[in-house]
Amino acid sequence: MHTRRIGEVEVGAVGLGAMPMSIEGRPDEARSLATLHAALDAGVTLIDTADAYHVGADEVGHNETLIARALASHDRGGDVLVATKGGHLRPGDGSWTLDGSPGHLKRACEASLRRLGVEAIGLYQFHRPDPRVPYAESVGAVRELLDEGKIRMAGISNAGPEQIRQAGEILGGRLVSVQNQFSPAFRSSEPELELCGELGIAFLPYSPFGGIARAGELALDHAPFARIARRHGVSAHQVCLAWMLARSPVVVPIPGASRPESVRDSVAAAGLALSAEDVAELDAV
């Protein structure tokens, strides 16, 4: 697979979002492990997770534990950059809550270290701003984790341009990634994508196919995505990822998957070359 960079680490141009394997509607563990192993076989070297990817309140970190098991049982497991996140919580009633306090982030990081079975987390990202906590305090906790060697690289998620600049300053120029939602139907993160390109920071689009939103699926099924897919003899999902990769060299999509065939289809997008006319047509959708 073609590669891109997150900080000083080279990763496959298409990563894997592991959330679907742990939240509501998740597959059984055997299929999840098969999906993760298929990703490794296909050359995926970036897997995105979070401690909040679980269902019940008694299984915090379900996704991290699953990933650790998959990596330990595959001969390429040591080649993977695992990106996890802290600051989001799931009480177990289906809701998502926030805790961006420094104390919580430090405890969450320690727990993620234990579940992943590593001495230092490859990439740790502050999951989502907490309006009750000054952003500088939350990112300051991430900086301390970086300084202490608990994490090797630092990133932020669900951030706006000013928060990206602020985080970069607080981290002393060591901000390596921004993970925001971005898809054909959800393009409000265009300013963040452009800023990351200017700053040389990796932009990790999550829910690149629209997630569970019906609008995202319609966007892919609709021309010109479907038309260009037919022209190249590939899926509309591959066209979507190839379009994102063509937007900027800092983009590393992390499409979610819960089936081996979905992973293999996504990874193939790294080798799909769209023409300038294709990209312009998709930009205009």
Residues annotated as part of the active site:
53
Paired strand residues for 157: 179
- Cα–Cα distance measured from residue 4 to residue 241, given in angstroms and rounded to the nearest whole number: 14
Quote helix, strand, coil % in the chain, to nearest 5. 45, 15, 40
Question: How buried is residue 76: exposed, middle or buried, by Cβ count under 10 Å (0-12/13-18/19+)?
Answer: middle
Half-sphere exposure of 47 (CA within 13 A, CB side): 33
Taking the CA atoms of the chain, what radius of gyration do you get in angstroms? 18
- Cα–Cα distance measured from residue 254 to residue 241, given in angstroms and rounded to the nearest whole number: 9
Q: Where are the beta strands (DSSP E) in 136-262?
A: 154-157, 175-181, 202-206
- Cα–Cα distance measured from residue 97 to residue 107, given in angstroms and rounded to the nearest whole number: 16
Q: Angle 13-185-191 (CA atoms, 0-180°, nearest 5)?
A: 65
